[in-house]
Structure 1
Amino acid sequence: MLPYLKIDFYHLKYCRYVTTQMNYRKQRGIHITKRKHQIYRMDDTTYGVKSQTEPGVQYTLKRTTAGWDCSCPDNTQYCKHAYALEERLGMKARSDRGIMIHQNGNQVECITSDHYLVKSQSKDESYEVRDFGSGWMCSCPDHIHTGSTCKHIQAVQWCTGEQCVIQESNQIVCTICNSSNVIRKGMQAGHYRYRCKSCGKHFTDNLGFEGRHSTPEHITIAVELVYAGLSIRKTSRALRTIHCVVGRSTVHRWADEYGHMMEAYLDEITPLVGEEWRTDEIYLKIRGERKYLFAMLDSKTRYWIARQVSAHKGTDDVRPMFRKAKEVADKIPSKLISDGAANFGEAHDAEYTPRNFTWKDSIHEAHIRLDGDINNNQMESFNGNTIRLREKVVRGLKKEDAAILAGLKVYHNHIRPHLGLSEGETPGEAAGVHVNGENKILTIIRAAAKARRE
């Protein structure tokens, strides 16, 4: 008998036993998540899960690169409490462990530009992470059995720079020569005044808000309230409760300027979107006339990739949005889902259909049904809950390039957590674009201003 045909039946029986035990723990963990008030957060890396057999007893789970360290008597790597927490957190748990693997150092080895080895955090072995043209694939059991973006793929994405973090800007630099050799010299109009030791010039540190009389906190609160759905008049009245007296025209000017500023900056960052995109149109009233807003959405991350406002629904009206989506995502989708409108099919053929055998294949699925496996429910929900609700508040838009659309795109992608994703995760975080800080709009504005200055 050939060596590779020999079967170790004892080892096979043991593997079957271990698999059965792990499946049992996983099912118990899923059952825990279905009960209310069983899981709670203690801090950034620690969670608590209530015991299911002993009243008043709770177990503590601490995040590690290998998984979860649980205080329960079950000493396996993944107990039922760990499975319950994984089910609740979803992709956020894998993302956090991917960051930890990347920060530990010497865990990822580059073989070629599309081939990496990532050390296992629980065994003395390494897993292969490769890109065959349709996305990263890993040899670990998590990716093989679930098809998810495992922690090893996340670690590789951090190492290659595919995942991006927009940091809070805390360093004070000279606005004239960009030197960090500065000292504080009093205050001016409520802002600290500095003197640069390199060039001798004086300046105030108000990055992104130069020339504004209101504080950055008041401005970002007003901008977020407008994008969240509050009318401009109500936003102006709400600001008075925090001693910021401004008119509605000022609030509108803030939303207009910073909406375009943030969108232009974020469009330069390539998101890690999936292979299935969706598109649809929704009619809006702009200056009393009927216009159409076309949008491109990623099915996996719910990331709003591109938008286009047109007066008609022809192919030439929608093709710029298809081209913009390809530029932002730096790729084309493997599948595009839309309704049966001919303009989407013609635009797909013009922009995404492969021209030769070296191009990536892309199919267009236009036969959607309400009760079938292929539907466009995500896009219809997006049109109703994101676009239509906001348009009702402002009673129609005033111009085609209204900043409210740019701000809505930023708010949807990077500010508001999406209910269809993991707990507290935004579409931008699911697509690898992380914004630090409690005030995310302030972080994005200052990062955009810093990039514009450089």
Structure 2
Amino acid sequence: MGSASPSYKGHRYPVEIISYCVWLYHRFPLSFRDVEELLLERGVFVSHETVRRWCAKFGQAYANALRCRRPRPGDKWHLDEVFVRINGERKYLWRAVDQDGNVLDILMQNRRDKAAARRFFRRLLKRTGAVPRVVITDKLRSYGAAHREVMPSVEHRSHKGLNNRAENSHQPTRQRERVMKGFRSVGGAQRFLAAFSGISPHFRPRRHLMTATAYRAEMTLRFAIWEQVTGADSRPTTA
């Protein structure tokens, strides 16, 4: 069962507009001003600052609800880290995905040493509530040291060529980073990417493996789930 829909008490705009703005911002490489303009073309007057507040308030709640509706993660986890420059300083974005490409968790950290890898391993186990059969990483030694300490019974494969799935999962983040002209702070990057990693993949099925009919049916189902988690499907109807 998923979590209850968030409360919209005190908001004068209907849930359909709020959820639509959050969907636009997290699904497509748009700025808050771009979303404002798209709604203006439809006759809806919303400021970019209001869009920003909606995304900050509801984005993570929507992402959490979507995660509650996902099946259990696969038993093969791919882990990878990439550097992100914030205010001229190099930080590291740690990411874990399963063999199906589902994002399990992300974490912004200052380093990529053993302590950082151990922290990410423990957070990952706690958030997923599962233990993998295999963990696949690149050749960064921090992974091996943390693996032996946190999950020694799990098989660890360290090979750069085996970890393309995790590396490819960074591409949407890089795209958004360019659109946003970089992140302003570590906390801001963590908050945005946590919501983005939960919402954006929901609308990105593996289309290249699907027929057009199957893709449309899958997207119809995913939009229905989106309406459930946002509460848009619970709006009372009139005759």
Range of TM-score over shorter length: 0.7 to 0.9
3-state SS, counterpart of residue 160 of structure 2:
coil
2:170 corresponds to 1:383: yes
Consecutive unaligned residues in structure 1, runs of 5 or more? 1-163, 170-206, 355-361, 370-374, 430-434, 448-454
1:141-165 deviation line (CA, Å, top 9, x unaligned):
xxxxxxxxxxxxxxxxxxxxxxx6x
Amino acid at match of 2:7: G
Give the structure 2 partner of residue 418 of structure 1: 206
Q: Distance in 1 between the 2:26 and 2:169 partners?
A: 15
- Larger helix percent: 2
Deviation at 1:280, TM superposition (A): 0.5
Q: Which of 158, 169, 187 lines up with 1:366 in the alignment?
A: 158
Give the structure 1 partner of residue 89 of structure 2: 289
1:404-443 deviation line (CA, Å, top 9, x unaligned):
2122112244233233665439xxx9xxxxx967354342
3-state SS, counterpart of residue 93 of structure 2:
strand
* 1:47-66 equivalence runs, <5 A: none
Q: Percent identity?
A: 25
3-state SS, counterpart of residue 401 of structure 1:
helix
Give the structure 2 partner of residue 316 of structure 1: 115
Q: Distance in 2 between the 1:270 and 1:326 partners?
A: 16
Amino acid at match of 1:368: K
Q: Distance in 1 between the 2:53 and 2:88 partners?
A: 21
Q: Distance in 2 between the 1:396 and 1:316 partners?
A: 26
2:192 corresponds to 1:404: yes
3-state SS, counterpart of residue 290 of structure 1:
strand
CA RMSD in angstroms comes to: 3.0
TM-score if structure 2 supplies the norm length?
0.81
Deviation at 1:296, TM superposition (A): 0.5
Amino acid at match of 1:414: H
Give the conservation status (yes or no) of the 8 Å contact 1:268–1:328.
no
TM-score if structure 1 supplies the norm length?
0.45
Q: Structure 1 residues 243, 318: CA separation in 2 closer, same or farther (over 3 Å shift)?
A: farther
1:25-57 deviation line (CA, Å, top 9, x unaligned):
xxxxxxxxxxxxxxxxxxxxxxxxxxxxxxxxx
Consecutive unaligned residues in structure 2, runs of 5 or more? 233-239
1:332-374 deviation line (CA, Å, top 9, x unaligned):
11111111001111222222113xxxxxxx11111333xxxxx
Q: How many residues align?
A: 226
* 1:36-435 equivalence runs, <5 A: 208-228=7-27, 229-266=29-66, 271-299=71-99, 301-354=100-153, 362-369=154-161, 375-384=162-171, 386-402=172-188, 403-419=191-207, 422=210, 423-424=214-215
3-state SS, counterpart of residue 424 of structure 1:
helix
Runs (4+) of structure 1 exceeding 6 A deviation are none
Q: Which one scores higher on RCO, CA 8 angstroms, separation ≥ 6?
A: 2
Q: Distance in 2 between the 1:254 and 1:265 partners?
A: 16
Q: Distance in 2 between the 1:377 and 1:288 partners?
A: 28
3-state SS, counterpart of residue 398 of structure 1:
coil
Give the structure 2 partner of residue 438 of structure 1: 223
3-state SS, counterpart of residue 255 of structure 1:
helix
Give the conservation status (yes or no) of the 8 Å contact 1:278–1:298.
yes
Give the conservation status (yes or no) of the 8 Å contact 1:295–1:308.
yes
- Larger strand percent: 1
Q: Distance in 2 between the 1:397 and 1:346 partners?
A: 30
Q: Distance in 2 between the 1:438 and 1:269 partners?
A: 13
Q: Distance in 2 between the 1:421 and 1:347 partners?
A: 36
3-state SS, counterpart of residue 135 of structure 2:
strand
Give the conservation status (yes or no) of the 8 Å contact 1:222–1:251.
yes
Q: Distance in 1 between the 2:60 and 2:143 partners?
A: 27
Give the conservation status (yes or no) of the 8 Å contact 1:437–1:443.
no
Give the structure 2 partner of residue 80 of structure 1: none
Q: Distance in 2 between the 1:247 and 1:239 partners?
A: 10
Give the conservation status (yes or no) of the 8 Å contact 2:64–2:198.
no
Q: Distance in 1 between the 2:222 and 2:68 partners?
A: 21
Give the structure 2 partner of residue 178 of structure 1: none
